[in-house]
Structure 1
Amino acid sequence: MTTTPAVDFAAAVERYLAAWNETDAVKRRALVEAAYTPDATYTDPLAAVAGHDGIDTVIGAVQGQFAGLVFTLGGPVDGHHDIARFPWHLGPAGGEALAIGFDVVALDPTGRITTVHGFLDKVPAGL
């Protein structure tokens, strides 16, 4: 019987959050390409995009809307097979979260994200 190496879910989520927090466009694009497969999809209640261009555009738009805020891991990363789930917070560094969500990601064998399904649990008024 052949076994496949376990995917490092925590490392994949760390790369994911790093891309969402990088405000330099060139560096962010490199992080997006490292974290996601070229044909990855990202879907949440406010966006549905595919590929590095689409994902990078969504991240840039969110950063523009919530300038100065950062994404942090809101609890443990849980996963099995090639799927992981984790809560996240968006707020000022060290401050109270203004937005809270929960994402489910599917990973390829190298740990790159192929699919994101995002859920918003708490959003700022007017969003």
Structure 2
Amino acid sequence: MSDMNELVERYLTAWNTTDAAGRAALVAELFTEDAEYTDPLVSVRGHAGLDATIAAVQGQFAGLEFRVGGPVDSNHHIARFTWHLGAPGAEPLVIGFDVAALAEDGRIERVYGFLDQVPAGL
């Protein structure tokens, strides 16, 4: 998983995977066991917390999908990227920006998420 673009695509695939077993497998593959995920709405640690967070987001935004919103920028073991959440082929409903730090084994150790565009009432 040395290619950051591929890693970010697989990360977003995990956020789009609605099959619980498939999503859990992706989370285990992509994240260290004690990985941390923090954004303005949640802060969790570990595979179970990540999986539950992704499942909750999918429940809140059923039918929408995450996609990369622009180029992935990286240096050393850190990547930053913009993502879009919306209906396939439509303008994004939510736009965010994540910074991911990788562990020595190439898996994600920490993600810091920011929300740049959020619909009113969210």
Q: Which runs of 4+ in 1 moved over 6 A?
A: none
* Structural RMSD (CA): 1.1
For the residue of structure 2 that corresponds to 1:42, the secondary structure is strand
Give the alignment of 1:15-54 within 5 angstroms.
Answer: 15-54=10-49
TM-score (norm 2): 0.96
Q: Aligned runs of 1:33-112 on 2, under 5 Å?
A: 33-112=28-107
The whole-number CA distance in structure 1 between the counterparts of 2:42 and 2:95 is 16
* Mapped pair 1:9 → 2:4: yes
Q: Which moved more, 1:8-17 or 1:58-67?
A: 8-17
Equivalent residue letter for 1:11 = E
Paired with 1:24 and 1:50, the residues of 2 have a C-alpha distance of 21
Alpha-carbon shift at residue 75 of structure 1 (Å): 0.2
TM value normalised by structure 1: 0.93
The question of whether the paired residues in 2 share the 8 Å contact of 1:71 and 1:91 is answered with: yes
Q: Deviations over 1:6-35 (max 9, x none)?
A: 932112111110100000111110011111
CA contact (8 A) 1:7 1:82 kept: no
Measure the CA separation in 2 of the matches of 1:110 and 1:89: 28
Aligned counterparts of 2:62 and 2:12: Cα–Cα separation in 1: 15
**Which secondary structure does the structure 2 equivalent of 1:67 belong to?**
coil
Structure 1 residues without counterparts, runs of 5 or longer: 1-5
SS at match of 2:112: strand
Identity across aligned pairs (percent)? 63
Cα shift at 1:110: 3.1
**Size of the alignment, in residue pairs?**
122
Stretches of structure 2 lacking an aligned partner (at least 5 in a row): none
